[in-house]
Amino acid sequence: MSKQQQHFCIVCNQEINPRLVMRSKNDNGDIMRCPHCRLTFVNPMPSEQAIQEYYNGLCRKESLEFDLQKQKWANTSLDGYIEELKRLKKWLRQDFLDLGGVLGYYAKEALTKGLKAILVDIDPISIEFSNKHQELPEVYQASIQEFSEISSDWIFLRHNIEHFKNPDNLLDTVYSLLSEGGVLTIETDNNAGAEILLHPKTMRFYQSLYSKKYEGSSPIDLLLKLPLAVDLLRHLFGFRADNLSQLLINDSFETVKTIHYCLGDSVYWPNIPNNTIYILIEKLTDFKIMSLLLEVVCLIIFPFRKMLNRLQMSSGLCIYATKKAT
């Protein structure tokens, strides 16, 4: 497809002339953005075969051993989701369908909390890990779009939608799996988010990633262009609150609540914990001067990250949605 050619925007439901955000260095797919809704995406999309190869055994490293810390994080997270569902009067106490739930830590915690937990993932290594360590009664190795076994009153779609070539088809499937009166929690990286560039760890990760694959990827470029977190073959789309809400509405969902959150949020993004006074003291007593300085910088930057959260420019996005009332 020629780069100037029109493109169909799944949010705007019309042909658009996408704007170039970042040009690929190796012609593997540029990052483009809809000029109307600002949906950001890879163009052209990778082949199905390339995607399948990418996901086969993707979590091999993480599946080498059970991680107690991940289990604790999932436990705290699930408590937070349940609290929010109670506030929204959507706490139905029955099902937990974890679509693309990878190693099953969240599904296991849902099971522990008395829910009927079902895990679906395409990666055979992840499924093998779940069968060995999580003791879940129902685990399916399938792509979400192939899966049509049941209906559920809570569908958990955490950091998945950005991985799909056809997010609207994915949402059609999710709609068919969600029971009447059920709730979908859908999460993704926030493409409007600049906060991810204010955390040294994620800043280094993305700077290195974008400088390898795309032209014009200095920290200032990243701040001005905000490609985050689209990157081949991992993330094919980048959403922000308004275009993800509109896509949900297009697919007959109704959004109930939208939450923006920072890296280190104990419910929504626990795996990059915020630094604490305890960590500072630890670094000080260990005489790790460079890492101590880094922790101090993190602490100074922290209020700015919180400020970006208020401006809906933090790193993550969670929408609670139901089926549109008919």
List interacting residues with Zn ion (CB under 5 A). Answer: 9, 11-12, 34, 36-37, 39
Angle between helices 167-177 and 241-250 (to 10 degrees): 60
Query: Which CA distances in Å does 84 have to 30, 124, 253?
Result: 38, 32, 19
Angle between helices 200-213 and 289-310 (to 10 degrees): 80
Nearer to Zn ion, 43 or 152 (CB): 43
Cis link prior to 44 (omega < 30° from 0)? Answer: yes
Cβ of residue 250: shortest distance to Zn ion, in angstroms? 11
Nearer to Zn ion, 36 or 60 (CB): 36
Nearer to Zn ion, 32 or 85 (CB): 32
Cβ of residue 235: shortest distance to Zn ion, in angstroms? 17
Nearer to Zn ion, 9 or 241 (CB): 9
Nearer to Zn ion, 11 or 119 (CB): 11
**CB neighbours (10 Å) of residue 250?**
14
Cβ of residue 12: shortest distance to Zn ion, in angstroms? 3
Contact 6, 19 (CB under 8 A): no
The answer to whether the Cα torsion of 312, 258, 108, 146 is positive or negative is: negative
Q: What tokens appear for 156 in the block?
A: 């958990």
Backbone angles phi, psi at 270, to 5 degrees: -75, -15
Cβ of residue 30: shortest distance to Zn ion, in angstroms? 17
Contact 23, 217 (CB under 8 A): no
Nearer to Zn ion, 36 or 306 (CB): 36
Cβ of residue 243: shortest distance to Zn ion, in angstroms? 7
Helix H or strand E encompassing 179: strand 178-189
Provide DSSP, 95-128. Answer: EEEEET-TT-HHHHHHHHTT-EEEEEES-HHHHH
Cβ of residue 18: shortest distance to Zn ion, in angstroms? 9
Nearer to Zn ion, 12 or 59 (CB): 12
Cβ of residue 17: shortest distance to Zn ion, in angstroms? 11
